[in-house]
Amino acid sequence: MSEQERGLDAQQELGRRIGEQLLAALPPTADEIRLIIRAALSSWYQGTILLFKEGVEVDSLPDAGSAFDDAETLRDVMATENGGTWFSAVFTVFADGRMSASFNYDEEPQALTVDDTPREIMPALYARDFDKYPRSPKNTPAWLAEKVAAGRKQLADIENDQARQAADSAATPPAPDTAEPQTTLPTAATSPATTPTQAADRQLPHNSSRDPRAPASPERNQPMASDSFSETRTRLRPKLYGREHVELDLLELSLAGHSAALQATRPAGPDVTVGVVIDQPNSQTRVSEITAQNWGLPFGQILEAALDNPIGRQIQVEPLTAEAQMIRDPVFAACVWLKPSLLEGAVGPAARVIVTPTADLTLTGAYTPQTMTVFAGVIDDLLQAGEHLETITPAYLGPHGWETVAWPASGVNPILWNRVIALFADQLSGRQ
């Protein structure tokens, strides 16, 4: 069998698997399911799974088995010499088993911001993708050539900045070691009961695991060599990350030649994504793409195991006002985005809006101007205190899942919110 024939067989097998998984995830309340990859580049993508009934969108799903992983593999398999591969795709499956797929090779992919407006993808990501899937000049659209050129300049500028920082660091005597100790995720046996505290005033949350998100080395991103999936399964925990920080991590690790060591994640809600960590005696180890490959498992299966582990555990809910609460729990902060029913189970059906500014803090409450004002105040306090924030974007739990809440919400002081936006932007730009 020729190399081309083997490639076609692999494409057909992956297409069949994607179709079977989408069909298995199609509920009786819908008659069509679409896996939409809006933008796909090396180690980065933006996608969603939507459900339809008689042509009308009725719901969405966070995942469908390993469909996302298989789509990423399919993109690699479909690459051609000097022709690159596709940038976006749509896989459609109907209740009667019919399936169709379309692929975009030449048009610029349209990634979206949290308010569903077009967002620009970092040019450096296009440059890295072009290195992996090169194209001949005649197969390179003008927009892609511009992106790659800008990306190469961006990468060169970052390399120069890193070289200067390394030189400055070498010339500066080392400071005393004052690093904060790492903390482990709480377990069901040690978590406090679900009883509200009686604090009358809004308090600044204490973030005991500030996690500056400096990119870890490949060794720190992998479990110990003797660990297998079966040995670590009960110690897997989901963890929330901001999408902007994950993109910056990818860029930094790519520069170091360790892009496969990036934290493996799945999009979960507006501006957030969820990864998996392994509880160690005195620290946590991130599950990277390398880890998933070593275990021989799609990341979706690893994530499902992590989401199942904390089911039934208790959490601590603290009142901020009569309508707003604070939940200081890293597992809940990650789980609630993929399992929204946890929100109602923890604080009741009136809590319909949330924001997770840090990896271990969730603010939730009724969708009112008073609640949004409290949220803005807490976020401002965190930023003023120099805390590392994953996101400042809240979401409302609607009939089709999480929907972005536009800031500034009614009742929120515009001056306060403009300061929040500026401080958060400074935090992100400080990493670039």
Distance, in Å, from the CA atom of 341 to the CA atom of 346, rounded to the nearest integer, reads: 9
Q: Give the per-residue pLDDT at 137.
A: 95
pTM: 0.53
Distance, in Å, from the CA atom of 122 to the CA atom of 252, rounded to the nearest integer, reads: 13
The token pair that represents 75 in the structure block: 């993109």
Distance, in Å, from the CA atom of 322 to the CA atom of 46, rounded to the nearest integer, reads: 37
Q: Report the interhelical angle of 67-77 vs 3-25 (nearest 10°).
A: 160
Q: To the nearest 10°, report the CA torsion of 122, 35, 300, 192.
A: 90
Distance, in Å, from the CA atom of 161 to the CA atom of 386, rounded to the nearest integer, reads: 23
CA angle (175, 176, 182) in 5-degree steps: 115
Q: Report the interhelical angle of 142-171 vs 243-255 (nearest 10°).
A: 80
Distance, in Å, from the CA atom of 310 to the CA atom of 190, rounded to the nearest integer, reads: 12
Edge-to-edge strands, sheet with 353-358: 317-319, 324-328, 361-365, 353-358, 395-398, 401-404
Q: Is the pLDDT of residue 270 over 70?
A: yes
Exposure b/e, 205-230, CB count within 10 A at least 16 = b? bebebebebebbeeeebbbeeebebe
Q: 205: which residues sit within 8 A by CB, 6+ positions away? A: 326, 328, 358, 361, 378, 382
In the numeric block, the tokens 């929120």 are attached to: 412
Q: Which structural domains are found in the chain, ordered by start?
A: 3-117 (3.30.500)
In the numeric block, the tokens 């990036």 are attached to: 262
Q: Give the per-residue pLDDT at 265.
A: 87
Q: Give the per-residue pLDDT at 411.
A: 66
Summarised one tens digit per residue, pLDDT across range 195-247 is 322 222 223 333 322 233 333 333 333 443 347 888 888 889 999 998 877 77
Summarised one tens digit per residue, pLDDT across range 165-196 is 556 655 555 444 433 333 233 333 333 333 32
Contact 85, 50 (CB under 8 A): no
The single-letter code of the amino acid at 357 is: P
CA distances from 265 to 220, 236, 241, 261 (A): 16, 14, 8, 12
Q: Report the interhelical angle of 414-429 vs 243-255 (nearest 10°).
A: 20
Q: Give the per-residue pLDDT at 187.
A: 34
Summarised one tens digit per residue, pLDDT across range 125-158 is 899 899 999 999 999 999 999 999 998 888 787 6
Distance, in Å, from the CA atom of 67 to the CA atom of 89, rounded to the nearest integer, reads: 13
Summarised one tens digit per residue, pLDDT across range 360-405 is 999 999 888 888 888 888 998 998 888 889 988 888 888 778 888 8
